[in-house]
Amino acid sequence: MKKPQTAYKRLLLAVCIASVLAIALSFSVQAGYINASIVRVDNNVTQNVYYYDKGGGYKDNVGITPDTKLRVCADLAADLAGKAAAAFYVMAPNNATIFIYDILGGDTVARYVSFGAPFAYAGKFCADANFEFYAGRSPYPAKIFVGIDEDGDDGEIIDANDTVVAVPSTNGYLPYGYSRNDVQSTYNPATGNVTIDATATNPLVSQTASTKLLVGSCTDDQGANCSGAVRTSVDAGGVSVFTGIIGPSDSVNFTRYSVINGFGVPYCIGPDADVSYVSVVPSVAPKGTIVNLSAFVTNTNTVDITTNFDVQMFVGATNLCNVTLTAPLAAGASKYTSTCLWNTTGIPSGTTTIIGHPLDVEAGIADCDDGNDNGTGTFSTELVYIPKVWIDGVETNIFPDAGEPYNLTVYMVDSDGLTPPVELRLTEENGMSIFSPTQLYTLNTGKSGVIAKSTSVVTTDNTGYITFAVVPTGTKLYEPEYSYLNLSSYVGNHSIYFKIYNITTGAELQMYFNNSKQSNFSFVLVNMTPRSPNATEENSKTVINQNLLVKEALDLAYRSLATAVRWLK
């Protein structure tokens, strides 16, 4: 049996001399080994190693006497009897080339200490080897490995016959850790390399320290199985290491760990389709608008997507429609999907969120982060009013003849289905005006004239309706025989329309019809010249409020509206 606290033994580590020595190192649990840990000598409690500021490194305690020991547990006492142990930073590229830094002896020296007698513990067997962490030899945070001398060569050579067991941080480690760059984003599919830019958190020795960090890309989080690893100087910057993966397809992804002195952080090699946002056009419109939806998708990882996939559009749990992303989508690139149509009839007032969810995994794409790929867009409903218009009981916007009295009925309901009263202003432009007849003149600024506007103002009731008498006057001046006047270039064309307003604030309100938002509801006057009723038509019509001023008002304007009077009883 080896004596505890023996003198330093030389460890053959060609990486510290001139080149990397490729030898087999087994990281699998051999001989029934279960785990390894650092425990206190006095009470057998798991112990993290102290950082000794004055010494600039980790130490079991400030005193000289060993205060910690390495404990290894196994299935059988025979697995431990007569063996020795040492603590290392270890990384094993391809399970062959050893990158190793001894906690105690520096780059080339390892110190093994012999196990004491195995003892029963929790149904297994464990053995302890008193082990002092010397200040100045281990200046960086680390998770360590325990090397077990299996072949009785007194610790001079670690070879295929020996075993190295990882000590998880829960079983004791050199506290603190490392910050690092976004390793995942540096993957190069052509070379299979990533760049690891590491910075040690405190404790940290000076930049001139000769001690090396062990940096690698590994399949485990402590550095036992690594495709590529390097020994590098303090605070490694831009260290390129091989991942073992070249030119992957989009149908598989790989989890790897960027490991620095045993501290591993996972990253994923593969595609990652994220919906950056959902495009909603228009994004503000009345209910009932037909909206165009598409998704802007980004491949946020470093492997190209070569497979088409759909994106589902949701409001809550309702699938509105699906759109398609047509491959390819290169690593880091973005593009729009196809477009689908969404009928917004019946949605609540206010803002609705549309969620775009990529179905890339369902299409066979191995997304690196499938749980965080959704994007959103919003659609805001605009309160508008939907008009319905009847002329003499027929739903139409056409007045056949000027000079004829009509019953005009308007119904106004808002996009929430409510019928609050609104002010309706019905206007005839450039009709026959008694107050200020049509006049034309030319100014030094160009053609001008008197634009005749006759406006009637009424208010709908709380059911949304209003009915009143209307007599379009029209004007013969727009007929072909008066074309020499070129009336429209002076005062514009004849028109009849209404607008609506808030009865409290006077603000103009918007209407929605013919699949668009509009501020005017326009009418058509077919015959601009007043037509006298024939014998059958004369005295055949009755209009609302006829006996309450309407007929009297027309009689008072008889000279200009004599034709209209002849229609009435």
**Segment 112-166, tens digit of pLDDT:** 788 999 999 989 999 999 887 764 556 678 888 888 887 665 555 556 667 888 8
**Segment 537-565, tens digit of pLDDT:** 998 999 998 887 877 877 777 655 566 55
- The answer to whether 227 touches 242, Cβ cutoff 8 Å, is yes
* Top-tier CATH class for 273-381: mainly beta
**Segment 339-360, tens digit of pLDDT:** 999 999 888 888 999 999 999 9
- The answer to whether 146 touches 87, Cβ cutoff 8 Å, is yes
Tally of residues, the chain: 569
- Backbone conformation region of residue 207, classed left if phi is above 0, alpha if psi is from -120 to 50, else beta: alpha
Q: Is 552 helix (H, G, I), strand (E, B) or coil?
A: helix
Nearest to 562 by CA among 427, 405, 408: 405
pTM as predicted: 0.70
- The radius of gyration of the chain from alpha carbons, rounded to an integer in Å, stands at 44
Both tokens of 511, joined, read 């209407």
Contacts for 97-100: CB closer than 8 Å, 24+ residues apart: 97/15, 97/20, 97/21, 97/22, 97/23, 97/229, 98/13, 98/15, 98/21, 98/23, 98/25, 98/158, 99/15, 99/20, 99/214, 99/216, 99/229, 99/230, 99/231, 100/11, 100/13, 100/15, 100/158, 100/214
Residue carrying structure tokens 């000769």? 210
Greater confidence (437 vs 95) lies with: 437
- The rounded distance, in Å, linking the Cα atoms of 274 and 389 is 49
Q: How many other CB atoms sit within 10 Å of the CB of residue 186?
A: 17
Say what the pLDDT of residue 520 is: 97
- The rounded distance, in Å, linking the Cα atoms of 296 and 373 is 12
- The rounded distance, in Å, linking the Cα atoms of 126 and 148 is 13
The domain limits of the chain are: 9-171, 178-269, 273-381, 385-567
Q: What angle do CA 430, 434, 440 make, to 5 degrees?
A: 50
